[in-house]
Amino acid sequence: MKDMYEVLVIGAGPAGSIAAKVAAENGLDVLLIEKRQEIGDPVRCAEGVNKEYLKKHVEIDKRWICADLKGSCIYSPDGTKIEMAEEIAGGEVGYVLERKVFDRALAEQAAKAGAEVRVKTRATGLIIEDDFVKGARLMHLGKEYDVRARIVIGADGVESKVGRWAGIDTSLKPIDIETCVQYLIAGADINQEYCEFYIGSETAPGGYIWIFPKGEGKANVGIGMLGSEMGKFKPRPVDYLNSFIEKRFPDASIVEMVFGESRSQAALRKLQLTALCSWEMLHANPIQSQAVGFLML
């Protein structure tokens, strides 16, 4: 690691990796840092993406794709099924990705384009001089480093601190987020060509449950609930998901658990104003369609 770069990108999620790649391709000297030890792990995503948006931003590689969806089905509380085929949904359905492979591949593409990539390296603060961001303080294996850069890009996801360090309040209101729990289940009888959504205040108050197929009897089954619907003494998303799985897939095994939150349109608009990078601005899952366009540069 040098002590000076032209561009420093904090966070190697899809947004950070694409930003680093584009900057490096344009001949800039780029450092991309990620605090986790493995890029893409743990996953925080249902892994559904809109095909058209994805094609616009990256060259698609078959290895990332677990399922190619033909449509989606929405179930209302009384069991009524609304089916949306690909054509009708206007390309709103898409692929189910393997985010672990996808995120890592994007970081590798950034490296191939010439960016230096560092994992297990966490930004702990910004270097601010004369009211300008001049770089960041990094922590790598317990040691501190000051790294200067002409441009610092905060692509640090939901737990974003970079914006706050620069004096922008990026904290999210509970109404701006969906808190999510998701299980990857295996050994279940699942239609691999459709994703399913279940709505209703008994199933998922202020949100919905999704089933995204992942190939070979596997699927991401998750729930997202509006943060403002949650309370200290109310059941948690994990409780609603457990009762859904017990009913719908009593024999399936849970092979992975995912927790997280997803930002709403309003929250993204706020981020957009501050020019922080977020993947949700580029892509969306088929039901939320929160994609806002390419904001990276």
Chosen residue from 59, 78, 130, 159 binding other proteins by CB under 8 A: 159
Q: Is 236 in the site for ligand FAD (CB under 6 A)?
A: no
Q: How far is the CB of 93 from other proteins (least distance, A)?
A: 26
Residue 100: HSE in the Cβ half-sphere, 13 Å Cα cutoff: 8
Residue 280 interacts with, from other proteins, ligand FAD, none (CB under 5-8 Å by kind)? ligand FAD
Per-position x/- string for 72-111, each x denoting binding to other proteins as judged by CB under 8 A, each - no binding: ----------------------------------------
Q: Is 190 in the site for ligand FAD (CB under 6 A)?
A: no
Coil, strand, or helix at residue 229? helix
Query: Which lies closer to other proteins via its Cβ, residue 196 or residue 261?
Result: 261
Q: Is 196 in the site for ligand FAD (CB under 6 A)?
A: no
- CA dist 135 and 150 (Å) reads 7
Write the single-letter amino acid at 112: K
- CA dist 180 and 294 (Å) reads 25
Query: Which lies closer to ligand FAD via its Cβ, residue 28 or residue 162?
Result: 162
Q: 272: burial class by Cβ within 10 Å (0-12, 13-18, 19+)?
A: middle
Query: Which lies closer to ligand FAD via its Cβ, residue 12 or residue 209?
Result: 12
Q: Is 260 in the site for other proteins (CB under 8 A)?
A: yes
Q: Is 225 in the site for ligand FAD (CB under 6 A)?
A: no
Measured between its terminal Cα atoms, the distance across the chain in Å is 24
Closest C-alpha among 268, 177, 178, 252 to residue 211: 252
Write the single-letter amino acid at 170: T
Residue 196 interacts with, from other proteins, ligand FAD, none (CB under 5-8 Å by kind)? none
- CA dist 108 and 116 (Å) reads 10
Residue 177 interacts with, from other proteins, ligand FAD, none (CB under 5-8 Å by kind)? other proteins
Q: Is 238 in the site for other proteins (CB under 8 A)?
A: yes
Contact call for residues 191 and 294 (beta carbons, < 8 A): no
Structure tokens at 174: 């509970």
Q: How far is the CB of 242 from other proteins (least distance, A)?
A: 11
Q: Is 49 in the site for ligand FAD (CB under 6 A)?
A: yes
Q: Is 16 in the site for ligand FAD (CB under 6 A)?
A: yes
Q: Is 58 in the site for ligand FAD (CB under 6 A)?
A: no
- CA dist 174 and 227 (Å) reads 4
Beta bridge partners of 155: none
Q: Is 213 in the site for ligand FAD (CB under 6 A)?
A: no
Structure tokens at 184: 């990857």
Site residues for ligand FAD per CB under 6 A? 10-16, 33-36, 44-49, 122-123, 155-159, 161, 180, 182, 222, 258, 260-262, 278-280, 283-285
